[in-house]
Structure 1
Amino acid sequence: MAEEGRQPSMTWLFFSPSGRIGRLPFLLSWLFWFAVGSIFLMQVIKNEGEDAALALWTLALIGSGVLSTVSIAMLAIKRLHDIGYPGPLALCLFIPVLSPIVFIALCLWPGAAGANEYGNRRNAPSRP
C-alpha cells in the first residue's frame, strides 16, 4: 500500500493487491481496460486482410488481455479489502455465472468507513 501521506501511483492502482480502493476508481479502471481492449480489437478487425499487421495487433490484443486480467484481479482484491472481505474472493470474478453479479456488487457496495485490517480509507472523515 502507498505510504501514509503519499499519493498512490498508477502501478499501485493497477498491479498491487495491497490496500483499498473505492467504487469509482474500481469502475473507472475497469472502463480503462475495456477501452484498451476495444481499441486493439478494432485494429485486429480493421487489419484482417494484412497478415503482418494482423499478427502485430493480435499479439497486442493478447498482451493487453493478459495485463488487464492481472490488473482486474488486483483491483478486485483492493475493492474487496475496502468492503472488509479477504482478497481471495476475487476469484469469483472468473466464474462465468457469478462474474456479472460480483462485478455489480463491487461497483455498488459501499466500503467500510474508516480503517479496517487492510488499511485506512482515503478521504474518509476521521473519527474521534
Structure 2
Amino acid sequence: MPASQIFWLFFGFSGRISRAAYFLAGMLMMIVVVFFAYRMMLIQEVGGSGSIWETLFSLALLVSLWAQAALGAKRLHDLDKPGIMAALLFVPMLNFLAFVALCVAPGTMGPNRFGQHTNAPGPARA
C-alpha cells in the first residue's frame, strides 16, 4: 500500500471505508496508544524518568484522536451519513456503542454522494 493511501486512511476525511478497514485501522491506533502507555508505566514503576515516554504517549494520543475522527467520518460516509456524526466517537460511554455500530453496519451498496466505492478517497468538495 503506497504511503499516500496510508496517510489518506488515517488522516483524510474524504471518501469511504469498509467495516473491515475501519475495525483494523481503529484497532491499530488503539494498540499504538496502549503500547506507549505501557512503556510509560513500566518506566515509572522502576523509578525512572519517563518524560520521553510521556511525551510520546501524548503525541500518540493526539494522533490517534485525529485518526479516529477521520476513520469514523469515512465509515459514516460509507453509510451515506455526514461525517460530523463522528463526534459521537468522543462521547464517553457512547463511543464504544458507536464504534461497534460502525463495525457491524453494512455500507451503502454501489456509489453514493461520498464516493464511487469503498476504501478510496471521494470526490473533491468545493
- TM-score when normalising by structure 2: 0.87
1:8 to partner: Cα distance = 6.3
Deviations 1:6-58 (A, max 9, x none): 9961000000000000000100011101111111111111111112xx00001
User: 2-side partners of 1:63 and 1:22: how far apart?
Assistant: 27
Q: SS state of the match for residue 30, structure 1? A: helix
Count of residues paired in the alignment: 116
In structure 2, the partner of 1:120 is 116
Greater RCO between the two (CA within 8 Å, min separation 6)? 2
Tell me the equivalent position of 1:70. 66
CA shift for structure 1 position 73 = 0.1
Identity %: 34
Q: Give the structure 2 partner of residue 38 of structure 1.
A: 34
Query: What is the CA–CA distance in structure 2 between the aligned matches of 1:108 and 1:38, rounded to whole Å?
Result: 24
For structure 2, which runs of at least 5 residues remain unmatched after alignment?
Answer: 120-126
- The 3 A distance-change label for structure 1 pair 58 and 7 is closer
Runs of 4+ in 1 over 3 A off after TM superposition: none
- Cα RMSD for the two superposed structures: 1.7
1:97 to partner: Cα distance:
2.8
Alignment-mate amino acid for residue 50 of structure 1:
G
